[in-house]
Amino acid sequence: MERLQKFIAETGYTSRRKAEELITSGKVTVDGKIVTELGTKVGGKEEIIIDEEILTKEEKEYYLLNKPREVITSVSDDKGRKTVVDIINTNKRIYPIGRLDYDTTGVLLLTNDGEFANILMHPNNKIDKVYIAKIRGIIKGDAINKLKNGVIIDGRKCEKCRVKLRKTNINNNTSTVEIVIHEGRNHQVKKMFEAVGFEVLKLKRERVGIFTLDGVSSGKYRRLTPKEISIIYSIKN
Ligand code: URA
């Protein structure tokens, strides 16, 4: 027997956290009864229905996309904009692991494996997310130290992080900064720079854990290898 939210995530329907939301908001029925209790256990033989759809297990797929600009990190968009899922040629119900802003580029993982997504997103696992930010202005040591120690955004302090100045360009008054964070708060990098008085002009995610953009140009994607998948599964949470 296992917990309903874990079971739902394992079918690839969605992440464990989203599954919890679906359960508590009364969208999940088990053998005809609405279940809102997160502790509910299932054995796998029950008929589980979410939003009028019967849950079935599907084959797992894993992708690394080099997200271009002007694509939304979502499975659908009510304004008809192109989504990251539109780029990938599959009939599986894959979804992005975490999100990048419309104008942010770089590493984005997608899967229909909720457990895998959960490992990468769980804050305890402290997966590196490496961003390269081009900012307006010349940043100095004091602002860099503030970022390293954790600035306050939306009333809450960010964790300590690694920050490295890559270059400054006096002529066009910009700096390029590498920042490594483990959290995944909304617009986190842009807000962190805003907190120390800088505007982010361009943002690229260069790496997530072991995943880099090597060999994957903008707008292209590749499947993860079995070795990469097993490395992620070996991370405890
Ligand atoms: N931080 C941001 O501000 N935007 C992103 O897309 C990712 C991290």
Is residue 7 domain-shared with residue 73, that is, in the same domain? no
Q: Cβ-count burial of 235 within 10 angstroms (0-12 exposed, 13-18 middle, 19+ buried)?
A: middle
User: CA-to-CA distance for 4 and 28, rounded, in angstroms?
Assistant: 10
pTM score, two decimals? 0.83
Q: Are residues 147 and 116 in the same domain?
A: no
Model confidence pLDDT, tens digit, residues 82-137 = 999 999 999 988 999 999 999 999 999 999 988 899 999 998 999 999 999 999 99
C-alpha distances (whole Å) from 177 to each of 43, 68, 102 are: 50, 20, 20
How far apart are alpha carbons 183 and 203 in whole angstroms?
Answer: 16
**CA–CA separation, 6 and 192 (whole Å):** 33
Q: What secondary structure does DSSP assign to 72-87, as a single string?
A: BSSS--TT---BHHHH
- 119 and 175 share a domain? no
Any domain includes 199: yes
Q: Which residue has the tokens 């739902």?
A: 8
CATH of the domain at 37: 3.10.290.10
Is residue 68 domain-resident? yes
Compute, in angstroms, the gap from residue 62 CA to the centroid of ligand 1: 22
CA 135 to chain centre: 23
198 and 141 in a single domain? The answer is yes
Protein residue with its CA nearest to atom 4 in ligand 1: 187
Q: What was the pLDDT predicted at 16?
A: 87
141 occurs within a structural domain: yes
Which residues span the domain enclosing 144?
A: 128-208
Ligand 1 first shell, C-beta below 6 A:
100-101, 104, 187-190, 203
Looking at the structure, tell me whether residues 132 and 204 fall in a common domain: yes
Helix H or strand E segment including 173: none
- Residue ranges of the chain whose pLDDT lies below 50: none
**How much distance in Å is there from the Cα of 128 to the middle of ligand 1?**
14
Q: Are 143 and 198 members of one domain? A: yes
Nearest by Cα to 162 from 194, 195, 137, 189 = 189
Tell me whether residue 213 is in a domain: no
CATH of residue 111 = 3.30.70.580
**For a substitution probing ligand 1, which of 102, 180, 190 has the most ligand atoms within 8 Å of its CB?**
190
Which of 97, 99, 104 most suits a substitution to test ligand 1, by most atoms within 8 Å of the C-beta? 104
Q: Do 149 and 187 belong together in one domain? A: yes
Catalytic residue among 31, 51, 77, 101: 101
Tell me, what CATH number does 134's domain have? Answer: 3.30.70.1560
**Are residues 45 and 72 located together in one domain of the fold?**
no
Closest among 126, 120, 115 to 97, alpha carbons compared: 120
77: CA distance to ligand 1 center in Å? 19
101 labelled catalytic:
yes
pLDDT score of 1 = 87
- Comparing CA positions, the residue from 206, 215, 212, 205 lying closest to residue 228 is 212
Could you tell me the distance, in angstroms and rounded to a whole number, from the CA of residue 231 to the centre of ligand 1? 25
Beta carbons within 8 Å of 227's beta carbon, 6+ residues apart: none
Instruction: Look at residue 227 in the predicted model and tell me its pLDDT.
Output: 97
Give the residue, out of 67, 70, 73, 101, with the most ligand 1 atoms within 8 A of its beta carbon, to mutate for a pocket test. 101
Q: What's the total number of domains in the chain?
A: 3
32 and 14 housed in the same domain: yes
Residue 154: inside a domain: yes
If asked whether residues 139 and 179 sit together in one domain, one would say: yes
Q: Quote the radius of gyration of the chain (alpha carbons, Å).
A: 20
Amino acid identity, position 207: R
